Each structure stands twice: as structure tokens, then as C-alpha cells.
Amino acid sequence: MVITAGVDLGGTKIQAAVMRGRRVVGQARRPTPQTGAGEVIAAMADLVMESLALAGVAAGELGAVGVGTPGIVDSDTGAVSRAANVPGFEEGVLLGPELSRLLGDVPVRVDNDVRAAVVGEHRLGAGRSYSDLLGVFVGTGVGGGLVLGGRLRRGLGAAGEIGHAVVQPDGRRCSCGRRGCLEAYAGRQGIERQARKRQAAGTRTVLFQTMEKMGRDRLTSGVIAQALKEGDDLAHELIEDAVKALGVALASAQNLLDMQAIVLGGGLADKLGPEFVERVEKAMKPHVFAEHPTAPVLPTGLGDLSGAVGAAISVASIGVARPRP
């Protein structure tokens, strides 16, 4: 049976998983290095090797590696660019070839991180019962992916980029440089930017005290969740803004595509749990044209493994079964 590995690269963390067929047999994660592309790729290679060791699998048995990454991906060359949330990935980085070299020339295929996560959820997660599926993942930024007729939709290369759907004309500045994007309201980075702006203007909040207490250098999803538990007014306000923006964006997508289901995941959605997903579904419904029936909004089935599992599944066809030495 082919052994594959998947790596989910994010601005906050890197998650790796090793799969034997359709079963995860080893996994590992660590914070994303903030010191440049070389260190990020080295950490990805280390995590693959750590996952193999935890699975009891020899490196020589690894057939192929799939990678899900933010940014613009050239799947033919394995190059990544304009991944503003990952240090060193703003300009072109030959991620695929370099990771392959570090892993002993194992085949590596690179794809968009959210597309990989949508594949994972469609094949093994919450979306496995549906042939038409929208996946939206809320983490450092906001990304989306489409499965239509049982197949991943790529379009001209940017299919599913719901994070840059405009939910408020001339609204908050997004990391892409434009204004009013969903990502500016619901992405963790956009939430932090707004929280710092509000604090500087005199709004009281425990968000940054909580961040320091938890030993974080940014407002991670865990920090935001803890501030919500402590009843922080600003945290509640910013999450309400995120819920409303997601409701508008998902309703607009549903009005256009009439999907069978929507899966909502990513670090923020997974950390805040089913209640957050239910709030987004409630915020979506007033804007949906066809009220009955409408697509359910579901939490992920694979949690934070969606991306790594989807990336591993996507390379099963290019993997080479290697016998144990």
C-alpha cells in the first residue's frame, strides 16, 4: 500500500500527516518559523520525518508528499508566490523542488492550502456525502474551495477565493491591499489589525494581555477564544463582525452556486467550535434567496487535519509503493 504524506502550511502553524491508504498513521505540528522561506521549508521537511517516525514508517517507504500552501501556486513547477501570511513567501519560492531535495528527492506536489483542505473534507470528512460542496476555511486569512459534480473546481487558478469577496464596499483594508474583503473582517490577521487599532484609540481589552500570558506573539485563535471566555467586549464585537461578514459572503455564494452543503473550518472556526458555525449559518439565512431547501453549514469532520489529509490524498496517484528494507 502506498505511503503518502501531507503538509498544511499556514501563517501560524505547519501540520503534517502520514497516511497509509485512507488512514492517518502519524502526525506532527509546530509553529511556522517567522525567519524566512528557508527555515519554513526546513521545518516542513522535519515535520514529515517526525510524522514518519511516529507512524513507525521508514523514510524509504514514503511514496509522495502533497503540500497545501497559501498564495499563488504553479503546480507544474512547485513555485509559490504572494503568500503574504507566510514569512519569505511574498516573492517566488520553489517550494516543491526544495522540499523534495530535503526529503531525498521524493515526489512533491504543491497546491493551494484551502483546496487541499476541501479535498480532505470531501473525501474523508464532513463533506463526504455531497457531490457539490463549498469549503470555507477561516484562519490567518480566509480561503475557499469548490467541489462541483464530485470534482475539485480550479477555474483559471483562483476558483473559490471567497476571502476576497467584498462584504463591505470601501470597508476595512485587507492584506491584499483592497478594501472590504471578507478576510479583513473574519481572518485572524484582520481581526488582530482591527483590535490593535481599537486599543490605540482607547478601547479597553484583555486580548493583548491574554496573548502575553499565553506566550504568543500574535492573536492566535486560541488567544481570541480565551478572551471570549473572559467576557472581553472587544473580542465579542470583533467576532460578531466576523460572523456577519461570513454570513453575507456565504449567502452570496449560495445564491450563485446553490450548493448541497457548506463546510466551515480553519483555525478560528475549529477553535470556536460548533456554536460559531451555527452563528454563521444563522447570519447567512436572511440573505439566502432560496430558503427551502438550503445548504447546511457544517463544521469540519477532520478538524485541523483537513489540509494535511487532503494534500496526502491528492498525491496518492503519483506515489510509489516502496517495500520495507
For the chain, 325 residues long, give each residue's pLDDT as a single digit of tens. 789 999 999 888 899 999 998 999 999 999 999 999 999 999 999 999 999 999 999 999 999 999 999 888 998 899 999 887 788 998 889 999 999 999 999 999 999 999 999 999 999 999 999 999 999 999 888 999 999 999 999 888 788 889 999 999 999 999 888 999 999 999 999 999 999 999 999 999 999 999 999 999 889 999 999 999 999 999 999 999 999 999 999 999 999 999 999 999 999 999 999 999 999 999 999 999 987 788 999 999 999 999 999 999 999 876 554 444 4
153/109 same-domain check: no
Closest C-alpha to 14, from 50, 40, 53, 51: 40
Q: Tell me the CATH number at 29.
A: 3.30.420.40
* Total count of domains within the chain: 2
The verdict on 138 and 264 lying in the same domain is yes
DSSP structural state of residue 72: E
**Of 187, 159, 180, 168, which is closest to residue 256 (Cα–Cα)?**
159
Q: Are residues 183 and 35 part of one domain?
A: no
Peptide bond into 70 cis (omega under 30): no
Based on the fold, state whether residues 279 and 140 are members of the same structural domain: yes
Cα gap 153→204, rounded to integer Å: 44
| Single pTM value for the model | 0.91
Same domain? For 159 and 227 the reply is: yes
Please check whether residue 122 lies inside any domain of the structure: no
Distance CA 22, CA 124 (A): 8
Range of the domain at 40: 3-117+305-314
Cα separations (Å) of 323 from 3, 27, 143, 147?
A: 10, 21, 38, 34
